[in-house]
Amino acid sequence: MESLLQAIDLLVPQMISWRRYLHQHPELSYYEQQTAAFVAQHLEQWGLEVRTHVGGHGVVARLKGNGNGSTVALRADMDALPIQDEKTCEYASKNKGIMHACGHDAHTSTLLGVAKVMSEHPEVLKGDVVFIFQPAEEQSPGGAINMIKEGALDGVDYVYGIHLWTPFPVGSAYSKPGPMMAAADEFEIVVKGKGGHGGLPHQTIDSIVIASQVVGNLQTIVSRSVSPTEPCVVSVGSFHSGSSFNVIAESAALNGTVRTYDPELRLDVKDRMERIVGQTCEMYGAEYSFDYKMGYPPVVNDEGEANRFLRAGEKVVPVKPSPLIMAGEDFAYYLHERKGCFMFVGAGNPEQGIIHPHHHPKFDIDESSMRDAARLFIAMVMDCQNG
């Protein structure tokens, strides 16, 4: 393992260069053509067996090991978000309204680095290593399902993923056995009232007022219907209505997300939401539509593989048990199919101004976190194949 770690340390400047190039050229979910081509070109140059267009724009590469040990898959996501980059730096996004605001550019570059150093030292591998570069993590139904359907995990015994995470300080890593990230559902509510003149509200059914009541009422689900000890989030993320200052809008649209861990609570929240929306609208004489999409399931780590993280990860970066994270991840689907572990590597650094949360227009990472992530991937693979 030491030869791989030394090689990664030497490759860090190149990994940063890849990351900054990808940061300048982000692509949205399901449109990662150029990113996938960039990845595949490098993997082919290093002599790996490469498959492209797996489950969309996914790339899967296999590196043959020197023995009959376990086959381990490592996954990185490639897609960006519909956010305007507001950073002032030399590597800011060149694509208007599109930005790597969650670190996927760094995930891709980190895994490329691991693939390169392993391809230069295949003799230390006792089994094969499969590198999964996944599209469309940010947008449900996500890229993982189709990649699995098209064979990304064929012949794989274990699967690991890493997310660089700015809420955690650089120089640290986190994971835990069992549930770690929440189920991530989406909803859309349309309140249908009766439009009219802003000066004659009594002749209308004001969709904005009613939808505002819906937003407030939905917040009682978590505050008054769910046990305080049970993780649950109901968030309205967008509210769109109206086009003029003196017109009462005919309709108002709300979009948002629900995050839960418990399967029964997940369904109960959905049912309770629709009752609240329906009864609020009925009280004011409005109609409504309610569309609820079940998104990614919770990320549930295998106990043995999470313990491997705590044991093997400590050799390369300080590790800690992770708190529950209410963000969602379609890495959950890989863990439905194979034993594995999802891990967070700290990427925040207030001293460098790396303080903005994920999905923020000024999001950035401490790029030294890529070294920690690459070393953690290597430690997990080597411990697994030598265990």
83 with 119, same domain? yes
pLDDT of residue 387 exceeding 80: no
- pLDDT attached to residue 309: 98
- pLDDT attached to residue 215: 98
221 with 332, same domain? no
266 with 313, same domain? no
- What percentage of residues in the chain have a pLDDT greater than 70? 100
Q: Of 66-70, 102-106, 160-164, 217-221, give the lowest mean pLDDT range.
A: 66-70
- pLDDT attached to residue 67: 84
Q: State the pTM of this model.
A: 0.94
**From 137, 138, 185, 364, active-site residue:** 137
Residue 244: pLDDT band (50, 70, 90) is very high
Per-residue HEC secondary structure of the chain comes to CHHHHHHHHHHHHHHHHHHHHHHHCCCECCCCHHHHHHHHHHHHHCCCEEEEEECCCEEEEEECCCCCCCCEEEEEECCEECCCCCCCCCCCCCCCCCECCCCHHHHHHHHHHHHHHHHHCHHHCCCCEEEEEECCCCCCCCCHHHHHHCCCCCCCCEEEEEEEEEEEECCCEEECCEEEECEEEEEEEEEECECEECCCHHHCECHHHHHHHHHHHHHHHHHHHCCCCCCEEEEEEEEEECCCCCEECCEEEEEEEEEECCHHHHHHHHHHHHHHHHHHHHHHCCEEEEEEEEEECCEEECHHHHHHHHHHHHHCCCEEECCCECCCCCCHHHHHHCEEEEEEEEEEEHHHCECCCCCCCCCCCCCCHHHHHHHHHHHHHHHHHHC
159 with 97, same domain? yes
Q: For residue 79, indicate whether it is catalytic.
A: yes
CATH number of the domain at 281, please.
3.30.70.360
Q: For residue 274, indicate whether it is catalytic.
A: no
pLDDT 10s digits, 67-120: 889 999 999 999 999 999 999 999 999 999 999 999 999 999 999 999 999 999
Number of separate domains in the chain: 2
CATH number of the domain at 43, please.
3.40.630.10
Domain final position from 268, 295, 322: 295
160 with 198, same domain? no
272 with 316, same domain? no
**Which range of residues forms the domain containing residue 75?**
2-179+298-386
**From 27, 79, 85, 138, active-site residue:** 79
